[in-house]
Structure 1
């Protein structure tokens, strides 16, 4: 019929193609450097708090601001993704991220770090992290869960390698020089990834804003956002606190830094292992399992005291659960709501996650400083972990009915990218190269 949108399968070389896998690799590397660098902050806390005469709680505000902006900027970058594509966001955000690290290395007062680290690294990374996850998801249909696992492997690798590297550089070169070298690593990586990343090969013929508004009115969306915020409090709090907590019970600096590497390595296992079962067991069910690992992990940490091997077990469970969450959220979201406006939907999810990410480090490190021990903060965030598990366990496993703006809801097939009338292939000379 004249004027009808051609079927998506008319360009099979784009969806699930080698080009799509290159986009996933580029997205994974960029996110890996961003996440990994942010998570090195636990290694910097002791040196920075000593130099500036601030406690761990005051120093943790720096990472709290950065993680809030890191995740919550997605609410801005999601709509920008639909308009500009991922490459301009990666270019601007990557430049801000690198500049933030360089400026942080030169601060003379701690509050200066709140500004330059928070805005440069937090807001800068927030401009491209959520859009890259969304972009990679929209390049796949059959292999979306696996591709999201690949993208999410980047943060695991970044954490596994950059944290001990930062600890070594801080010990040998000082914390200021360590920030500068992290900036060099980031700059090189972002340039490579800029070459690999491309805009999605499909565009919405319907306006994505109305679709996003309908998504935000669903119960499933609110369960997912509230669960994500509750999940972030213990996870991001622990990533910032695990090194100071381990040091406070007599564990050496190198062994404490290695715990974050264990989290990063285990998160890779969680990303790849859990996403490989997504087709058989369903991404929503696996996401619930990822949440359920956290309460168990915190019971183990609570009972560990100074037993290093037990803290390692906690780190493994934390990493697997966190890795599964990061990878599966990128599959659960389009499964439930479709990919129309996915950047904006994921941006809202990241925003709620960012609120929890700000609360977690400040809460855990301040309570640790005030109580002089680790048991109270661990017990408190364990409650958040349990609450998040209970919330996410109520999430539906089926695609959410989303009808036209003025019509009745229409149940979508889980194998469709979205309603057939919403998506069409981009012409060869279209905006794929942005």
Structure 2
């Protein structure tokens, strides 16, 4: 019988290698390509300002539009993945990402950059991200936080590798050729790895975590794809309302560093080469956070760990607002990356803990519309505030308050659960 039609062998021998780790590797590669390409944008800000004689706010809006689409589209791509399977959606997303980057390199007006980058990268990452993450939640139960952390560590490694690569390509061949080369990379690596994604372990005769029987996944729930909350049931719960509010208020400042940290450093006299490495430092911290904190959260509980992530991001922002040199900004970038990486790894796993596997893609997609709204407003508003005040102090202060408010909301959820 073909592997995709078998049923779980509950009494059989545990496979020497669990295919779930292949799915994790595929999700890692697609997040590496998708978000790594998106987070190169900071390296292009100066070139786009010069090329099109544009303000920092109007250029920043390019990233905000893309971010709004790639988080907001999850509300559609999640349910589609639950119904049709993730593989085709992730492959299509990688094709769009590559095409959008290439077309941005051919743009002759800033409006064309908006269209190419926002529609290509925004729609492309939006089609790929939530389906890839939703699939991971079905393949793992006890190690769900660790597996999610490994998968989304592709974002951290992409942030480490891709912005310095983009800076090098821009310096050597110009921003247009840089976008063309990044587009080719997205097509080759992203589509090639997306082929390996599989939707449910039971379709291959396996159980979550490679277990031999359903009872061996006790602890964090190992719900089959058919069990758990529907989307409407989840939306009516206080847990979902709290998570949505926390994501919304924190997201206004969450992606400001990815657009404005490098310009901030250059404004304060940091050398171009050193400024380009700051986003890489966020990537280093983010990768470490996804590995270490995702695993830690499996032990201490993912809900208190999420509160810790919000508090940590707020504390790291205090370092940013007090720093003007390369050393202080590097400390901020590493610390922010650790807690940001832990946050990204925890959120999908916590949603699966709360609501099960039945509609996991759709529920994550609805939740990420909160992140989409914050991403649409935050980076572009930060650019316009800078154009008006020539300072990022108000922007960073607002980011600190947003993360503290999110931590308070998560604390309220935990107390509600206890009662």
**Is the 2:148–2:345 Cα contact (8 Å) retained in structure 1?**
yes
Deviations 1:170-205 (A, max 9, x none): 111111111011111111112321232112234644
Residue 219 and residue 8 in structure 1: after superposition, are their counterparts in 2 closer, same or farther (change >3 A)?
farther
TM-superposed deviation, 1:367 = 1.0
Tell me which residue corresponds to 1:200: 200
User: Which residue does 1:394 correspond to in 2?
Assistant: 412
Q: CA deviation at 1:16?
A: 11
Structure 1: 5+ residue runs without aligned partners?
1-5, 401-434
CA distance in 2, matches of 1:350, 1:399: 23
Partner Cα separation in structure 2 for residue 396 and residue 16 of structure 1: 39
Following the alignment from structure 2 to structure 1, what is the Cα–Cα distance between the partners of residues 109 and 413?
Answer: 45
From 282, 292, 298, give the equivalent of 1:279: 298
1:18 alignment partner, SS class: coil
Once the 2 structures are TM-superposed, how far is the Cα of residue 135 of structure 1 from its aligned partner? Answer: 0.3
The Cα shift of 1:82 comes to 1.4
How many residue pairs are counted as aligned between the two chains?
393
CA distance in 2, matches of 1:66, 1:215: 27
> Which among 357, 362, 373 is matched to residue 339 of structure 1?
357
- 1:6-64 Cα distance to aligned partner (Å, 9 max, x none): 99773888999621100011011101111111111011011001110101100111111
- Within the candidate set 402, 411, 416, 1:384 is matched to 402
TM-score, reference length from structure 2: 0.89
Q: Which residue in 1 is equivalent to 2:376? A: 358
* Deviation larger for 165-174 or 380-389: 380-389
Does the CA-based 8 Å contact 1:335-1:399 persist in structure 2? no
Distance in 2 separating the partners of 1:41 and 1:52: 15
**Per residue, is there more helix in 1 or in 2?**
2
Question: What's the counterpart of residue 73 of structure 1?
Answer: 73
Mapping for residues 21-420 of structure 1, pairs under 5 Å: 21-202=21-202, 204-205=225-226, 211-304=230-323, 306-396=324-414
Alpha-carbon displacement from aligned partner over 1:126-160 (angstroms, at most 9, x marks no partner): 00101100101111122211111110111000000
Where 1:198 maps in the other structure, the secondary structure is coil
Q: Distance in 2 between matches of 1:43 and 1:13?
A: 51
Relative to 1, partners in 2 of residues 1:116 and 1:78: Cα closer, same or farther, differing over 3 Å?
same
In 2, Cα distance between equivalents of 1:338 and 1:397: 21
- Relative distance call for 1:158 and 1:323 in structure 2 (3 A) is same
SS in structure 2 of the partner of residue 196 of structure 1: coil
